[in-house]
Amino acid sequence: MILRDGKAGENTLDRSVTKRITAAGCKGSRVTMSADPITYPVSQIGELAVYAAVNALSAEKIMPESFRPVILLPPGTEESLLRGIMDRICHACDMEKLVIEGGHTEVTGAVTRPVVIGTCTGTEMKQEISDRGADQIILTKWAGMEGSCILAYDREDLREVFPETILMRMRGLDRYLSVREEAEICAENGAQHLVDLSEGGIFAALWRLSVKARRGFVIDLMDIPVLQETIEFANHYDIDPYRLRSGGSLLAVTGDADALIGKLWSSGIPAARIGELREDRDKILRNEDEIRYLDLPQPDELRKIMV
């Protein structure tokens, strides 16, 4: 079977990766490292690699402490591009208080555009173990946020449709692309099953949440926070904002959504309750009176635009 473009699907990962790790006895008892590649042709590739690794680790309730980049560049790359990538990596690491511990840089014909793979390591966050049943699902920030930010930075055609004030506002979302702080707040307040939103958007993250919790869910689509500008960008490109890359947002399961949402808002982090877990495995999306079931995660909508 030929693999599809983009992040490997859940079934593929289970068949060809997870089962082999388990069979080989290589799986550790806790996560202390994450590794994530950025392969899109984007100007912010350096900081996006940092945030992708930070967010994946934070969602496992591990506090990120160090970062190591692998930078692959195609033949003919100017050194100024490498300096720019490293400047962005250093800035993001400074914002996240990460130590850069070495790395690897290589020019190779194996890639046709820059690729940055970020590896992040850390130690366990302080956690509260709650004996209260947890089934309420909350989402921080906004679905489609990262994809909107990328488009505002790198798609010149948007300048012909949207005023510069809107594009500047969407570029400003880059200050929200880390979930480290909200993950720490969630861990300290007994939240379970944290899932960071990244490739595939909110729909892919909800699927991963169901797998992680081994339960289904009911989600009210009208309760999922989405910026109006994201909706307008999605309409312009005829894409689904719920399948748009959404790094910087976090799903969390809690027994007291109101209390956790209050804690997050008091720290300046927008959050909203969007649904709840079910005892069965049904993945229900509710839009007022309309009911449908979530399909297997699809390739990120950004891949239709950023090629």
User: Which pLDDT belongs to residue 257?
Assistant: 95
Q: Which of 130, 114, 268 is nearest to 191 (CA)?
A: 130
Q: What is the mean pLDDT of residues 276-294?
A: 94
Decide: residue 90, CB within 10 A, 0-12 exposed, 13-18 middle, 19+ buried: middle
3-state secondary structure of 238: coil
Strands of 110-157, DSSP E:
115-124, 136-140
For the beta sheet containing 283-287, the strands, ordered from the edge strand earlier in sequence to the opposite edge, are 192-196, 250-254, 136-140, 271-278, 216-220, 283-287, 290-293
Architecture of domain 30-124: 2-Layer Sandwich (3.30)
Q: Give the residue, 42 or 31, on which the prediction is more confident.
A: 42
Q: What percent of the chain has pLDDT over 70?
A: 89
pLDDT bucket at 33, cuts 50 / 70 / 90: confident
Cα angle for residues 133, 183, 302 (degrees, 5° grid): 110
Annotated domain spans of the chain: 30-124, 136-304
User: Which pLDDT belongs to residue 128?
Assistant: 76
User: Which pLDDT belongs to residue 29?
Assistant: 43
CB-based contact 277:133 (threshold 8 Å):
no
User: Which pLDDT belongs to residue 134?
Assistant: 84
CB-based contact 147:244 (threshold 8 Å):
yes
Give this prediction's pTM.
0.89
Does pLDDT of 174 surpass 90? yes
CATH of span 136-304: 3.90.650.10
How does the average pLDDT of the chain come out, rounded? 90
Residue-wise pLDDT for 92-102, tens only, equals 999 999 999 88
Does pLDDT of 16 surpass 90? no
